[in-house]
Structure 1
């Protein structure tokens, strides 16, 4: 029997614990059933952990640019896999989403769907936010 999947965690300690527990479960289950098993967990994507100081700067700039009502914060961490996590292993930073839907223009489809579309007006907002962030960091 081969079981495969994705292991996603919100920090390195939880990831280490989950790997250890998976191996223990396989070992003890196999031992109890007179079988054998191996566990191979590839590194995969690192947990994406934002730096709180950088988050505060991005948050302030986003609110100043868009207004408090147009800036939404997640209540819970996301378990999505993201290449940006590898950058955050080596540098302080903050990952954020830039909204690209527009109900008035009937641009409503979710990411990663066949009919996904983007309201290109969001690109200007994204550039302005990046410029504000760059200016803020250059003053540090």
Structure 2
């Protein structure tokens, strides 16, 4: 039987603090990219028009674009294992918007997170996870 190793509570607290600092910095980067994509999509009222204008341009810069029935996924491969996947969805006002739910690699775990609340969400939430009214408040 193996002996259980106890972690000093102070060390555990320091590790948790470091994790949350790294996570907060990563979420800030995700929100910046999200804001950039939002600037691109906000003038469109159809997925087809957006794809016509932007799919080839994004592909030229190594950004993958996948069309679905109720969203368009924009995937950025950061390095060998890290990635970010944003979803273009139909906004409440009839214009395209970016879902606040983003797939990303959070400390080696594939995670779907509302990047404005920091809460993990379910895949079904992507098309109903709207960004705050004033995104600049969260950058």
Tell me, yes or no, whether TM beats 0.5. no
Q: TM-score, normalised by structure 1?
A: 0.25
Normalized per residue, the structure richer in helix is 1
Larger radius of gyration, structure 1 or 2?
1
What TM-score do the two structures reach when normalised by structure 2? 0.25
Report the structure, 1 or 2, having the larger strand content.
2
Pick 1 or 2: higher relative contact order, CA cutoff 8 A, min separation 6: 1
